[in-house]
Structure 1
Amino acid sequence: MHLVRLRSIRCCLAVTAGILALVPPGLEAQTPPPQTPPPETPPAKVAPREQPVVLPVIEVIGRSPGSILRQTGTVHILTREDMEILRPISTEDALRRLPGVNAKSEEETAIVSNIGLRGLSAGEAKSLLLEDGVPVAPGLLIGNDRYFNPRIQRVERIEVLKGSASLRYGPSTIGGVVNYLTKTPDEGMLVSARAGSFGTRELMLEAGARSGGGGAFAGVVATHGRGDGFMDKGYEMVDVMAKAGLYIGSQHTLGVKFSWYENDANISYRGLLFDEFTAGARHNPAPDDWYLTDRAAVDLNYRFEISDRATLTSVAYWSNLRRDYWRYNVDTQASNAAGRWVYTDVLTGNNRSFDRYGVDTRLNLDHGLFGLVSSAEFGVRGFYEEADDQRIRANRTQDRTGLNDRHLVDSATNIAFHVHNRIQFSDRFALTPGVRLETYDQNRRVLTSENETAGTSNTEFLPGIGSTYALDESAQLYGGVYRAFSPASNGVALDGMTDQQLEAERSTNLELGVRGTRNAFDYEFAVFRMDFQNQVVTGNSDPTLSQSNAGETLHQGAEMALGYRLIEGLALSGNVTWVPVSRFQTGANEGNRIPYSPRVLANLSLDFHHGPLRTALVAHHRGAQFGDETNLRAIPVNAAGGIWGGRMPAYTLFDLSAQWQATSSLAVFGALKNLTNERYVTGLRQGIYVGPGRNFEIGVRQAL
């Protein structure tokens, strides 16, 4: 295993070295000198290139002045500076600091993704995850979309967009859109190392180079980390990302990103039994189960600045994810007698690989149709994804080899179009109508059943409208209404190898909010409502079908984020999410609360910054939540089968972090998390998932 990992590192570094070697020192000619057109000619179409080349990725919100104020939905951003002081160990650890985000962690590094937005279950995927504007969930349509979660080490900025503005993306944007923007290394080298509790060790390198005029660049971000893990859930991880960009003349920019990720983790779906949890057990409940992942991906980015009013941005992408999950069967009777999981010698490998090819192209056009200042976006996106799913029956004496008794291939093709037009009626008021059309085909082929096939297709028409209104120079009102959808996965839409004739799950979403700044005070407040009318449920009046669009749920609540600069260098910030309604409206569970949707989520942070020192004391609160649709209150006390239910108590965690900029090139940082050593439940599956106890980390970052 270590030899394979070493080869992976060497391969990625070789690719990076090749990219860096392609940046010659004499590419200044790609940045043309400023030109002043003669007075009698019209203005130049495109301004001369005066800034270093930037990779032309798709940003959900953007960084230009006023980009947030153009959004008709709620916006939250975590910057690199925020993350350097918060010291999140995973993307989920970072996201839970933001309003409306609930994370259901299965282990501290969040190898798989489990987040829910605004009362949507953290156990389901109804929000879109992007990396540099590209979908990263492995199965958007075919299912199993939790199996990859970008490593926080490669991320420099996180954008979270909710409300009607998220209609520009898809599919599955009911809760909103999360976009992880990756690092682009500066010139030179930056080396960082950290160590901490649970045997955590990590080394990271950021290296970059630019041409003399800044018209070309290349860089790499590489991380190797390993740890014994809380509760002995150890892992070893390699994450390498290489980037390069190039100006071609005054109007064209090309970029490429290659990434390789590999992680061998000693984790399982199984958690502690109830008596183990109450006794304070800290051992791995499934010590021989392994979750093995590797992923390769390539993004090719292009930007064409057609004129000072029109820009075309495109990205073509490919990714391959392999996930082998080896789990030992349990002896339920022996487990009940022993008060812990007792395993047999039967080993099952649920091994899957996912491929995706796609293209996303957007034309942004400023125009004055009908005499009004307007900005339009026309977009088209298409992708094909495929999953190869094998179930291997093995045993301890023939570890990870055996009979493939289930082999199926799921695939899906998707094409989407969208048009949005922001119309500025006055200096204060702007209206943004838009529409999105998504059409997709889903297919399944079972190789172990004489290549039996089944297929289905669907088309979704998604209108929306949003607006912004400046109340005064420091406050803005925003809101919108739109239709969102989440497709039924292949396993549901083609249950029993029969087209279940399902439509996508649809939700009518409304939002109204206000944001602004007044002196030392920043604020944002929003109310929201998501009304599902046709969620997929088991059962159908047609005896030939097993599924139907008969479910209804309702989610509504409010979010509030506040920030106040108390004195120079001392600031207080916080946010609260209140979701009083997140319930089933029909069926056997009518009136019950949606699982993994706490009524209250809250964060409070006290930040101190003086000279080279910056510190933060952060509190995070998650309210009580249920583990299943029946709202079972008592957590099972025996080795129950299936997915566990139960009411998970509320908890509050306190973290302290600090960073000292010793010199212009050297920084020392550290964190102490879960200060009170709270023992808390993060989730239920086949047992109890326990959150990490008190832990620390310390590290150093050196620019070379």
Structure 2
Amino acid sequence: MLAGAVAAETHRLPAVEIIGSSSDTFSLSGSAHVLTEQDLERKEYTDVHRMLRDVPGVYVREEDGFGLRPNIGIRGTGTSRSDRVSMMEDGILMAPSPYAAPAAYYFPSAGRFSGIEVLKGPDTLRYGPFTVGGAINFLSTPIPDGRAGRIQLEAGEDRHRRGHFWYGGTEGQWGFLLETHQQASDGFKDIDRSNRGTGYDKSDYVAKLRWTAAADAAVQQAFELKLSHSSEVSDEAYLGLTDRDFRANPNRRYGLSERDQMDNDHDGIVLRHDLMIGPSSRLETAIYHNKFNRNWYKVASAGGQGIGDLIDDANNGNGGAQAILDGRQDVADVRVKNNNREYTAEGIQTELSHGFDWAGVRHDMVAGVRFHRDEVDRYQPVDTFDQVNGALVPTGVILPTGGDNRVENADAWSAWLVDKLYLGDVIVTGSLRYEDVETEAKRYADPGRASVSSRVDNQVDEVMAGLGATWLVSDQWSLLAGVHQGFAPPGASSVAGTDPEKSLNYEVGARYWGPGFSADMVAFYSDYENTVNNCSLAAPCPNGSTSGSQSFGESRVRGLELGINSQLWRGRALEAPVRLAYTYTDGEISEDADDGSVMSGDVLPYLPENQLSLTLGLERPARWGVYLTTVYVDEMCINNACDRPGSSRFDRTDDVLVVDLAASYYLNSDVEVYAKVDNLFDDQEIVARTPDGARPNAPRTAYMGVRVSF
């Protein structure tokens, strides 16, 4: 938040927003969208994928049907584990190890968010390290100004249950908040020959304590301490289905995956300090520490063959592979890996904002610096089994070495400078960002870590610049244009000399903001000088690697975003709101990779050409409301070679059309009851083939709930 906008209330800790209200997007030099608490409450989603469908230019790849493992991309950055987007909660990087291992296996319960901000364009340089596509900031429940609280209870099919409680207040110079969000389900899939569930049980806890100086104090400052803890046990697997089995029953799971389960815990602490320096300067500092432990116990191979290869062979008519998946054929050496990892991320960031006039021009300037350190420690033993008469019989343990026994870490210095100049009706924003990242990875030759089998390190540093302009044509119309350099660091297992991902990104568009109607249309073009993939088991690189990073040259992404938020009709008692988010995208490789794994003309995976979300509502404000949301997503290629001659139908997903319905009614001003049906017409399609087989979206599911405010 810039100094000119915050000087009025000096005794309040500033919000942790990166945009502000929806009206603040009107004068920004880049594409920006805000989902408010009211927007989120209308639909009562707990799946962040469903929430983000309302934002153009954002792509998601479903995996489990619940959004437990979000795969989010912006403007062609790739969606795998959201590892190319700067993801934040309250302005603090939230990935377990944003530099060393940015794949977002941790994600807070989306049902407790009070808002979501999505920022693209030149202003993204303020929020790194990933500046190619954009930044997403998830807002937690704020400390209320007075004593207040809320209780929300929800139940649904598949023994879905959800509880959300918070209570807090501000008295004098002190404020506090206590919050918990509990959510569980038995799941919608059935495992062959097993009565185990396929759902999850997830709990979040948040506590905040704030102290602010008195309004008449000589030094205007505030402190806020935020503590958070979450835990999750989810019976999720990498193993999907063959196409034939999917068409017969998309909610089936093979018995090989019966023992698969994710178990994780996350602890976070953030201490913020806000200091006013004179009437137009503010210094904001945050110290943070996050720790995340996880063990995803899941089947990896059978009979020496990876589970993804089994799916491929069965899809291509191999009866033996199909029999192993069905449990009709015994097989030795079934390996179930403890994907056991410990992540640590910590750092300190400080930002000075200052408003001033110079040479007759108003400036709002922000300068910031951050030191960040993170680490991921993998110690991943493998349990072995034989499949006998469709059951897994334990046979032994393989202690970890090499890639299953490694430590990766990163140290990063970041600095940024943003200056917003007000030149009459034109606002010009110049941005600079510097990233210096050092990474190291060690693999151990023995389970006891007595000797190192290999060690790699890498260092990258980059200066990025951006320039954006907004012309306030009138009180309702503005035009915007911008260009900025994009950057994404390679992962910690990258060998020396691996370059970061770099791009040059352009956008141009127009906005309209008026009573009851707002709209924006933005065209974008990203020219990648170097495209980098972080390789993982969930999303192997085109060369087959499942660790480290792969650079494969140049690519280009272009597209058009359209967002509309309006009232179709407004009467004395009734209103009909409408929200539209549409994105057209075209992306392809523009130069052959040196190793031949990708070629010029190859497509970018999991990038739909067209996607649309349309919400139509009818409501009597503060009394009742009904909302119908229709989402369409084009079929997507799952790999770069999808459009080459000889590719098969197994290289693509299905196109998907899903309709959700939600309705609410206020019994009085403090009590609201609601009902919702996700996937109203029960249309399940192949929404992904990664990892390892065809995967469905969630089936039709009904819920009912009540929310009480006090």
Query: What band does the TM-score fall into relative to the shorter chain?
Result: 0.7 to 0.9
Matched, 1:191 2:151: yes
Structure 1 residue 619, shift from structure 2 partner = 0.5
Q: Helix, strand or coil: the match of 2:400?
A: strand
1:111-136 Cα distance to aligned partner (Å, 9 max, x none): 22201212332226221111000011
- Select 2:612's aligned residue among 602, 606, 613: 602
Contact 2:108/2:230 (<8 A) preserved:
no
Q: Does 1:379 align with 2:368?
A: yes
Contact 2:588 2:600 in 1 (8 A): no
Asked if 2 retains the 8 angstrom alpha-carbon contact of 1:462 and 1:482, the reply is yes
Candidates 327, 330, 334, aligned match of 2:302: 330
Q: 1:547 to 1:126 in 2, by over 3 A?
A: closer
* AA of the residue aligned to 1:273: T
Farther off after superposition, 451-460 or 297-306: 451-460
1:670 match: 675
2:137 pairs with 156, 179, 182, which one?
179
Question: What displacement does 1:372 show?
Answer: 1.1
Correspondence list, 1:676-687, <5 A: 676-685=681-690, 686-687=692-693
Counterpart of 2:183 in structure 1 is 225
Cα pair 2:587 2:607 within 8 Å, conserved: no
1:614 aligns with 2:625: yes
What is the RMSD computed on CA atoms of the aligned residues?
A: 2.6
CA, structure 1 residues 604+302, in 2 after alignment: closer, same or farther (shift >3 Å)?
Answer: same
Within a 5 Å distance, the mapping from 1:59-70 to structure 2 comes to 59-63=17-21, 67-70=24-27
2:29 is paired with a residue whose SS is coil
| CA shift in 2, pair 1:610/1:552, >3 Å | same
User: 1:294, 1:321 within 8 Å by CA — same for their partners in 2?
Assistant: yes
1:71-470 superposed matches below 5 A: 71-123=28-80, 125-184=83-142, 186=144, 187-211=147-171, 213=172, 215-232=173-190, 233-249=198-214, 250=217, 251-285=220-254, 286-328=257-299, 329-331=301-303, 332=310, 334-337=320-323, 340=326, 345-395=334-384, 403-405=399-401, 406-426=404-424, 428-448=425-445, 450-451=451-452, 452-470=454-472
3-state SS of the aligned residue for 1:67?
A: helix
Tell me if the contact between 1:110 and 1:149 (Cα under 8 Å) persists in the aligned partners: no
Give the distance between the partners of 2:639 and 2:326, measured in 1 at CA. Answer: 22
Tell me: CA distance 1:388–1:635, structure 2 relative to 1, closer, same or farther (3 Å): farther
Q: Say if 1:635 and 1:645, in contact at 8 Å, map to a contact too.
A: no
1:530 counterpart residue number: 526
Q: Could you list the per-position Cα deviations for residues 432-452 of structure 1 after superposition, in whole angstroms to 9, with x for gaps in the alignment?
A: 112111101001122336134
Distance 2:480 2:396 in 1: 55
Q: Partners in 2 of 1:356 and 1:562 — Cα distance?
A: 38
2: CA distance, partners of 1:298 / 1:244: 12
TM-score, normalised to structure 1's length? Answer: 0.85
Q: Unaligned stretches of 5+ in structure 2?
A: 1-5, 191-197, 304-309, 311-318, 386-392, 536-540, 542-547
Between stretches 583-592 and 471-480, larger displacement belongs to 583-592
Contact 2:464 2:485 in 1 (8 A): yes
Tell me which residue corresponds to 2:694: 688
Q: Is this contact kept in 1: 2:250–2:684, CA < 8 A?
A: no
Equivalent residues, number: 635
C-alpha deviation, 1:70, in angstroms: 3.7
Distance 2:290 2:663 in 1: 37
Q: Note closer, same or farther for the CA distance 1:315–1:70 as it changes in structure 2 (3 Å cut).
A: farther
1:358 maps to a residue whose letter is G
CA contact (8 A) 1:273 1:340 kept: no
1:623 aligns with 2:595: no
Deviations 1:374-404 (A, max 9, x none): 1100010110001111121224677997623
Q: For 2:489 and 2:138, how far apart are their aligned partners in 1?
A: 23
Quote how far apart the aligned CAs of 1:189 are. 3.0
Checking the alignment, whether the CA contact within 8 Å between 2:143 and 2:175 is kept in structure 1 is: no
Aligned to 1:38: none
Residue 512 of structure 1 aligns to a residue in which SS? strand
Q: Which moved more, 1:179-188 or 1:91-100?
A: 179-188
CA contact (8 A) 1:274 1:635 kept: no
CA distance in structure 1 between the partners assigned to 2:566 and 2:639 by the alignment? 39
**Which residue of 1 is the match for residue 488 of structure 2?**
486
Distance 2:40 2:397 in 1: 42
Task: Tell me if the contact between 1:171 and 1:485 (Cα under 8 Å) persists in the aligned partners.
Answer: yes
Aligned residue number for residue 7 of structure 1: none
Q: How many angstroms apart in 2 are the aligned matches of 1:382 and 1:399?
A: 47
Contact 1:91 1:149 in 2 (8 A): no
Cα distance between partner residues in 2 of 1:469 and 1:228:
53
Q: Deviations for 1:244-286, whole angstroms, at most 9, x for unmatched residues?
A: 1110244101101111110011111111122110112422332
**Which of 503, 508, 524 matches 1:507?**
503
For structure 1, which runs of at least 5 residues remain unmatched after alignment?
Answer: 1-44, 540-545, 638-643
Q: Which moved more, 1:73-82 or 1:323-332?
A: 323-332
| Aligned CA distance change for structure 1 residues 351 and 533 (closer, same or farther; 3 Å) | same
Which amino acid counterpart does residue 235 of structure 1 have in structure 2?
Y
Other structure's SS at 1:490 match: coil
Distance 1:634 1:109 in 2: 35
Cα 1:289–1:81 shift into 2, 3 Å: same
Alpha carbons 2:481, 2:508 under 8 Å: kept: yes
